[in-house]
Each structure stands twice: as C-alpha cells, then as structure tokens.
Structure 1
Amino acid sequence: MKLDARSAARILRDPGALRVILLHGDDTGLVRERARTAALAVAPDLDDPFRVAVLDRDAPERLEEEVFALSLTGGRRVVWVRDATDAMTAPLKHCLGQASDTLVIIEAPGLTARSRLRTLVEGHAEAAAIACYPEEGRALEASIRQMLAAEEIRIDPDALSWFAGLLGPDRAATRGEVEKLALYAGRGGQLSLDDVRACIGDAAGVSLEDAAFAATAGDRAAADTAIERALAEGTSPIAIARSLLSHLHRLRRARLAMDSGQSRTDAMRALRPPVFFKRTEAFGQALSLWTADRLMDAAEQTQSLELDCKQTGAPDLTLCRRHIARLAGTAMMLRRDR
C-alpha cells in the first residue's frame, strides 16, 4: 500500500504487523532517517547482530536467508536493505509468500514510478511504500520545530522563517544544522533570530544570501565570489534557486509597498523576518533599482532555473553561475539608466 505523509509518521514509529517498508524518493537523507526510525521501533539496539541484518544492493540472494533466520536472543528481526533496485523484487515477492514476522526495511531512493519493486510493495496489504521528497515551506518549518521540540527548545517565528530559507533539500544536512542549533541553545532553551544567525553564520546559506543581495544590488564581483563559495561548500543548485526566489519575492513585497505610498524604510521594516541590519544597505539599493514588474520577471526566470536544474544531465552549476551573472548584469544596467 501507498502511505501519505501523515500515515507515514505513525507507521514509522510503530510498524505493527507490516512486513515491508519501502522508502523511495529524491531526499536520500530523509530516506535514511526514516529507515533508522522504523528499525529502532522494532530493534532498539541496531548493533545487535542477532536482530538486525544490513544488506546492500548486490546481495538480493541473501534476502530470503535473513528474513527467515531466527532471532537467537528473542524479539522481532529487522532486515535493512540499502540502495535497493528492482533486482530485489523477485526475492521479496517470494518472502512475502511465506509466513514471517521479520520487518524488511528497503532504502531505494532511485526507483521510478514504474518500478517493479514499487508496484509489488504498493499492491501488497502487508507492505508500505513511503515517498521521501525534499520538504519546503511550512512542512520544512514544522519538521524543524519538531526536531527542536525533542530537546524542549523553542524558536521565534522570524528565526524559524529565516533559518528554513537557508536550508537545502537534503534532510541529513537539515538535521545537522538543527543539531548545531540545539547544542547552542541547550535543552529547554529559546532561539531568537540573532541566536540563529550567530550559530550558523558560517553556513553555506550565508553565502547564498551574499550572492542574492550582491546580484540584485548590481555588485557582480561580490555576487560571483559568493556563488563560488556557496558551490564550494556543497550547496545544491536547487537550494541556490530557492534562496534567490525567496529574496526576489521579499524585494517585490517591499517594492509594492513603496508603490502604494510607503517609504522605503517602512516597507523594509514591515517584512517578516526583518532584513538583517548588516544587509539593509544592499536591500535598499536593490529596491531603488528594480520595479515590481522586473522583480516578477526575475522570479519567473529563477523558477525556470530550478526546473532546469532538476533535469537529468543538466549543467546545473553552470546554469546557476549564469543566472547570478544575469541578475547582476540587469541590476548594473538599471543603475546606469537611472
């Protein structure tokens, strides 16, 4: 059967009578995290060789052997398969045709919608398929809150919004940054926007902000330097596109407020989260250059950039560099025409 996000969380905490959990999708970090959650629900000690067996993609012939092995110390067994392909379909089908209480957890991030393995799991009453795709927007913010709540840590709304805007599409990287915040705040602590900035000021997301602010202000040299630093730090092109899009939308909201009669200062103050004081000059420069219509055009081009970067084989790094250069070039042209 196929599970939605709400059902998935419950099943991962308590698999019940399920015999197979298949985790697939683009977010490999989320795939691994959910696999670990499901495994711990059945076998609290993942280092116990009598209850937990880990197989790789090249060992489909061992699946049946491990599924029907006895737990010498008692308790339900877990067979954890990593990087699975459709080669696992036939042995898994054979296992499902026989009685067993072993839970098979399969990590298969590369499966397509037409995969035979997905078809088998989605059509079986004792198996569940869970899609693991990158979170964004409110879903990402909810996950961050949940991770921090586990340590009884609260985070201010503007801090949460700013922090979520910096994160890329990989769950493992997100959890790493959240753990850094938790260590900074301490159990039971409270995180403000200044706290979050102080804690992750060296993160790749700051390079993204540097690139976005410099490009829209017409500082080509600074924009090029910032985007190269972000890419060198491992930031994904999709995260770059999303960061740029968020920045352009914030600029457009402020520009529309100015067009309706607000002063530039008041329009910037009204944004949530507020513009960081060290970036108000660059943000103000961009507001003086760009019209609301031009910002909308730039946002649409940035959305196209994200779609292009998702295409298999696309030169995504080159596309990002070129897009930043175009934004900076447009801002420089607007400055000359003033």
Structure 2
Amino acid sequence: MASRKAHEVDAWLRRPDPASVVVLVYGPNTGLVNERARALARGAVDDPEDAFQLVRMDGDAVASDPLRLADEANTVGLFGGRRALWVRAGGRNLLPAVQPLLAEPPRDTLVVIEAGDLANKNPLRAAVEASRAGMALPCYADEARDLPALIDGAFREFGLTATREARDELVGLLGADRLLSRRELEKLATYAHGQDKVTPADIEAVMADASALALDTVVDAVFLGDLETMDRGLARLFREGEDASMTLLAALRHAISLHKARVAVEGGASMESVLGAARLFFKRKAAFQRQVTRWPSGALESAIASLREGMAAARRNGGLGEAIASRVFLTIAMRVARG
C-alpha cells in the first residue's frame, strides 16, 4: 500500500521516493498538511518562485476540468528540468482528474495534493494508496512529543533559542494544529527580537496579547452559548482584520480538543487528568471544564463537521468569509443557549 503511518511521514519526506509522482498530503492538522505540502512542492523544483516550475492550482477549478491536470503535468518545460503542481483540494471530487496520472505517471512532474481529513474509504485516498505511482501522507494533531522540535526549529529561523523553562511552558500551551502553533511561535520570536533567548517572561507577555485573548474569548463564548460576548468579540476581530477562516480554524482546533476531552471523561477519566492533557493556558481551564461538562461527544462531532464545512466555504468565498463564520458560530452557540 502506497502510504505511510503518521510517525513515518517525516522520514519519508527527508528521502522521497522518486517513483511517487502523485503525493496526497491530508489530515485534520490543517497547518501541518499545508507545511508539508508546501515543503514537498517547493523542494521538488530548482526555483520555487518560478511560476512555470511550481504551479499552484485550485482543486475545485481542476475538478471542473479534469483533463487540465494531466495536460499541465505532462507539459515539458522550455528549458527542461522538473516541475511541480501544488493542488489545494476544495469540496469537489478530484479523483477523475488524478486517475489518469496514476495510470500513466508524468515523467518530470511531481503532483502534490493538499487535502483535509479523508476517511479510509475516501475514493481519492483509496486510489492514491492503491497506486504504485502514488503516496498518501497523513497529518494528525501535534502531540506533546512533537512540540519541542517544532519550537526549536521555529526559533532557529529567527536566530533564537528557548530556555528549558520556556520550552517546557510552551509545550503546555501550544495546541494540536501546526499552523496556529507556528503563528504563536512567530509572534513570540518577533517580540523577542534582539535577544538571544526566549524566556518565560516573554511567553507571559505574548500570551497576554489582546488579539490572541480576543480570539480565545470568542471561541469560549461560542461553546458556552454566550451570544452577546460572541457577537461583540467577533465584530472586534473582523474590524481589526482577523481572517474569517482563521477564526473558524481556531474554533475547529478547540472543538477537536473538547471532543477528545469529552470522550475521555465518558470513558472514566478524571476531569483533572483531562484538563492536564488538553495543554491549556491556565486562564482558560475553568471555561474549558464547563464546556466539557455541557457538550456530549455526539454534539461535538456535529460541531466539528460544521466548522470544517464552514472553513472550506470561507476559503472558497473570501468575500463572504465573515458572514459564513458568523453563521457557523451562531448555529453552534445556539445549541448551548437553547439548553
């Protein structure tokens, strides 16, 4: 089977199999999916800034014209050399466009497909895994053991290191999604510019940042059914330029964490152990506990599905992103408000 287990993906990425010309990068960790797809596509060509060598393609546009992907993949460069196609999957079926490439792989083109969370029986995933020309790479939530390397790598890009105390504190604070974790680390590195090391004092200062607290406040209000706080906070975020899809992503990450906690509680785990495993900023623990108590696991699964659909819709329709996010948040919050 042309796939790797989650813990094997990094090793494969260090030495990609040249026979794998269609690589599907998928999973619930949206940030990690994007990070790995980006690195794979950019690393496959000599000049990733050359729009002919690295071609970015919208998945829904490809799905509407299935032959376009094969035509692009088999285009020969004027000066030779390898090319890469980076396809960001949307809501439409990509399988008809991908099947010809799996049947007759292009010679000098790598096709990287960036997708969301795909079930085992998803037709695209199944086709890639069954093909000798394909490779499917899953990206699941970052765990505590993954975070020290992420922290060190992110700070290294800014010429910084973290004290051991700061690293330990960050492991407890960062969440499961790679993109949001990187955003927090980049904010922290920017704050610490001019220093050699990041300290716990820097973390406290950045974690108290008003915009970050505003986003946390909105997410907590949504899952507590506090409509007034949600509306007020969301209006402020959008007024200050917060991206609608990122607010949905933050809520999605939170909902997944809530679901994991609720399932653990329903399985007999203590609330104390659940709160510890959630790696929460201490000021949010009380609100998180109330949410775990109020939300059954089945209702959280429905909320997670709504947030994923909303995030995909917001990305496809940028001009309507704020309206889409507001509607999704209102639907979720009303479930609690109605009791």
1:10 lines up with 2:11 in the alignment:
yes
1:94 lines up with 2:100 in the alignment:
yes
Q: Which of the numbers 185, 200, 212 marks the counterpart of 1:193? A: 200
Query: Structure 1 residues 309, 104: closer, same or farther in 2, change over 3 A?
Result: same
Match of 1:265 in 2: none
**Equivalent residues of 1:28, 1:171 under 8 A apart:** yes
Q: Which of the numbers 66, 69, 72 marks the counterpart of 2:72? A: 66
Structure 2 gap ranges (5+): 221-225, 238-246, 262-268, 274-278, 310-327
Q: Note the alpha carbon deviations across 1:155-205, whole angstroms, 9 max, x for none.
A: 245434544555555433322221222233348821111111223421555
**Equivalent residues of 1:168, 1:238 under 8 A apart:** no
Q: Which of the numbers 216, 228, 233 marks the counterpart of 1:229? A: 233
Match of 1:33 in 2: 35
The CA deviation at 1:210 is: 7.3
Query: Structure 1 residues 211, 127: closer, same or farther in 2, change over 3 A?
Result: closer
Q: Note the alpha carbon deviations across 1:5-57, whole angstroms, 9 max, x for none.
A: 33322333442412111012233332222111001211142221332222222
Q: CA RMSD in A?
A: 4.6
Match of 1:262 in 2: none
Match of 1:52 in 2: 54
Normalised to the residue count of structure 1, the TM-score between the two structures is 0.64
Alignment of 1:1-338 (within 5 A): 1-17=2-18, 18-57=20-59, 58-59=61-62, 60-83=66-89, 87-99=93-105, 100-109=107-116, 111-167=118-174, 169-186=176-193, 189-202=196-209, 204-207=211-214, 225=229, 229=233, 233=237, 234=247, 236-240=250-254, 242=257, 252=272, 301=294, 304=297, 307=301, 309-312=303-306
Task: Mark the structure with the bigger radius of gyration.
Answer: 1
3-state SS of 1:8 partner: helix
Structure 1 gap ranges (5+): 214-220, 254-271, 287-294, 327-338
Query: Structure 1 residues 237, 92: closer, same or farther in 2, change over 3 A?
Result: closer
**Equivalent residues of 2:84, 2:111 under 8 A apart:** yes
Q: Distance in 1 between matches of 2:173 and 2:145?
A: 14
Q: Distance in 2 between matches of 1:64 and 1:319?
A: 41
Amino acid of the residue matched to residue 2 of structure 1? Answer: S
Q: Distance in 2 between matches of 1:321 and 1:137?
A: 33
**Equivalent residues of 1:162, 1:273 under 8 A apart:** no
**Count of aligned pairs between the two proteins:** 286
Query: Structure 1 residues 115, 209: closer, same or farther in 2, change over 3 A?
Result: closer
Match of 2:315 in 1: none
**Equivalent residues of 1:154, 1:188 under 8 A apart:** no
The CA deviation at 1:86 is: 6.7
Q: Distance in 2 between matches of 1:177 and 1:123?
A: 38
Q: Distance in 2 between matches of 1:205 and 1:159?
A: 19
The CA deviation at 1:209 is: 7.3
Query: Structure 1 residues 163, 226: closer, same or farther in 2, change over 3 A?
Result: farther
Query: Structure 1 residues 85, 299: closer, same or farther in 2, change over 3 A?
Result: closer
**Equivalent residues of 2:42, 2:54 under 8 A apart:** no
3-state SS of 2:94 partner: helix
Normalised to the residue count of structure 2, the TM-score between the two structures is 0.64
Query: Structure 1 residues 152, 316: closer, same or farther in 2, change over 3 A?
Result: same
**Identity of counterpart residues, as a percentage?**
29
Q: Distance in 2 between matches of 1:2 and 1:135?
A: 19
The CA deviation at 1:82 is: 1.7
Q: Note the alpha carbon deviations across 1:260-289, whole angstroms, 9 max, x for none.
A: xxxxxxxxxxxx9997xxx7xx99xx8xxx
